[in-house]
A and B are shown apart, each in its own frame.
Chain A
Amino acid sequence: DAGITQSPRHKVTETGTPVTLRCHQTENHRYMYWYRQDPGHGLRLIHYSYGVKDTDKGEVSDGYSVSRSKTEDFLLTLESATSSQTSVYFCAISDYDGNEQFFGPGTRLTVL
């Protein structure tokens, strides 16, 4: 299994509070991704990174920001959480030439 961890694994927070989710990899892969999974929508890309300090938006990036200051860490921040951001969040990684993405175990976020 690819070495990907996500923290926290579960979080309950209140509307309006900031939340940061962390993805950590030990594979030295160049590309990292954040997805959310919701019923009826599958996996939707939030943001991705193609190198340290290099990030770009995905299809559902509104309300989210990311940072990647080291190869191994990719942070997803909800500046002011809303109930619509209640979801399961997955981090994924891939290497330069890879077509396949490896996923972390997920973080279940509930915004009350």
Chain B
Amino acid sequence: DQQVKQNSPSLSVQEGRISILNCDYTNSMFDYFLWYKKYPAEGPTFLISISSIKDKNEDGRFTVFLNKSAKHLSLHIVPSQPGDSAVYFCAAREETSGSRLTFGEGTQLTVNP
């Protein structure tokens, strides 16, 4: 079963607007969440993370929100730029699994100039 789900395979936004990428999870033992960005022909790169004891973490244009009761997290990018066009993966770590991560399917973000 898919413990981390990204239900939107793709998202298209205009440059300067907000991009919101969503992720849902089913495992209540997840205690740490991460977002990775992936450009074509490259490996994923770490973007931002959040611990389950927080509900928000911000880093420049990127903010991650965590709603534990809904088992939902989202990544906000404001303002969106064409260079943000990439596949975004949500990932989660279970507190008893050490450093192992479970990834979602990914969402292709396209930012149009």
Bound complex: CA A52 to CA B91 (Å): 26
Is A74's CB within 8 Å of the partner chain B?
no
| Segment from B14-22, B59-67, B96-104 that makes contact with A | B96-104
Q: How far is the CB of B78 from chain A (nearest CB, A)?
A: 23
Bound complex: CA A10 to CA B36 (Å): 23
Interface size class of A (residues with CB under 8 A): 20 to 34
Q: A31-B99, A41-B105, A45-B100 are in contact. Are A101 and B42 (CB under 8 A)?
A: no
Per DSSP, chain A at the interface is: strand
Is B34's CB within 8 Å of the partner chain A?
yes
B32: which A residues are within 8 A, CB to CB? 99
A42 in contact with B46 (CB, 8 Å):
no
Is B70's CB within 8 Å of the partner chain A?
no
B36: which A residues are within 8 A, CB to CB? 103
Bound complex: CA A106 to CA B40 (Å): 10
A103: which B residues are within 8 A, CB to CB? 36, 43-45
Number of interface residues of B (CB under 8 A): 25
Bound complex: CA A58 to CA B44 (Å): 19
Q: How far is the CB of B53 from chain A (nearest CB, A)?
A: 13
Q: A99-B34, A99-B93 are in contact. Are A43 and B43 (CB under 8 A)?
A: no
B103 in contact with A44 (CB, 8 Å):
yes
Contact with A106, one of B9, B42, B100, B105 (Cβ below 8 angstroms) = B42
Kindly report which residue of chain B lies nearest to residue A90, judged by CB atoms. B43
Report which residue of A40, A90, A92, A103 has the largest number of chain B beta carbons within 10 angstroms of its beta carbon. Answer: A103
B46 in contact with A43 (CB, 8 Å):
no
B43 in contact with A42 (CB, 8 Å):
no
B91: which A residues are within 8 A, CB to CB? 43
Proximity string of chain A (78-112) to chain B, C-beta cutoff 8 Å, 1 when within and 0 when not: 00000000000010101000111111111000000
A101 in contact with B99 (CB, 8 Å):
yes
B99 in contact with A94 (CB, 8 Å):
yes
Enumerate chain A interface residues (CB-CB to B < 8 A): 4, 31, 33, 35, 40-45, 48, 50, 58, 90, 92, 94, 98-106
